[in-house]
Structure formats: structure tokens, C-alpha cells
Amino acid sequence: MPEPSEAELARIHDERAAIFRPAWFGNLAKGRLSLGETFWGGYVGVQLIAMPLWILAMVPAIAAESDGLVPYSLPWVLVLVFYLLQLGWTLAVTRAVLGVAPKARQAGGWRWVAMIVALVIAAQSLALIFTWVTGRL
């Protein structure tokens, strides 16, 4: 593989610098990025930010539950808000994956796998919200 030119290196640098910026999130949610960036960046990459926030939300929720303050305590509401934000983002990424994957012919059969996994992730997120709110499956 030949060495990239200075122009190619500058383009790559600019593309990488745009990741996780507001415009990148908008382009991802609107299905304007590649399938790989939409799927992996949207689901896995965002979790690198969301999971530390999740841990911060769960510590007071677990403490409140052990004190008998759940449901409808402030920590319970914070966890519900976190779940709702996660659900909104998950549904946006799922919609984007379902829009981008059929056009990603270079991905071959993996594009169909991405669509199936996206639907499973969305269903799992909906079940999680339902379980959290109702306390049953």
C-alpha cells in the first residue's frame, strides 16, 4: 500500500477531528455517515461516554433502593431520564443504520447483520424502559 499524500493525511486528520462533535452526532443520526461509523460509532463509541455517566447515576439509585426510597425517588427519576435519553439515541442510531445499511453494498452480508443487530438493540432498549417503569417483563 502506497504512503498517503499530504492532502490525504490532512483529510484523514480533519475527518478524525470531527468525530464526537455536535455536527458529527447530527450527521450520524441523519444517516449521512458510513455504515461502519454509524453502527460502531453510534452504538459502541457513544457508550464510552454514556457508561461512566450510567455508573454515576446508578450509585445513588442503588443507595436509595437499599434505603427503601424507590420507586419515584430522585435517583429513580435520574435513572429513568438516563434510560429515556439512551432510548432516544438508540432509536436514532437504529433508524440511521436501517437507512444506511441497504446502500452499503461494499459491506456485503454484514450490512444485513448490522440491521438485525440494530433492531435487537432497539427492542432491548424498549424492554429495559418497560421493565424499569413497571417492574416486570
Residue 73's domain spans which residues? Answer: 6-134
C-alpha to C-alpha distance for 127 and 123, rounded to whole angstroms = 6
The answer to whether residue 1 sits within a structural domain is no
Q: Of 19-28, 52-61, 62-71, 103-112, where does mean pLDDT reach its minimum?
A: 62-71
Domain count for the chain, please give it.
1
Structural contact between residues 126 and 87, judged by C-beta atoms closer than 8 angstroms: yes
Phi-psi region of 21 (alpha: psi -120 to 50; beta: other; left: phi over 0): beta
Question: What is the per-residue pLDDT across 25-63, written as a single tens digit (0 to 9) for each?
Answer: 999 999 999 999 999 999 999 999 888 988 887 777 777
The answer to whether residue 54 sits within a structural domain is yes
Model pTM score: 0.81
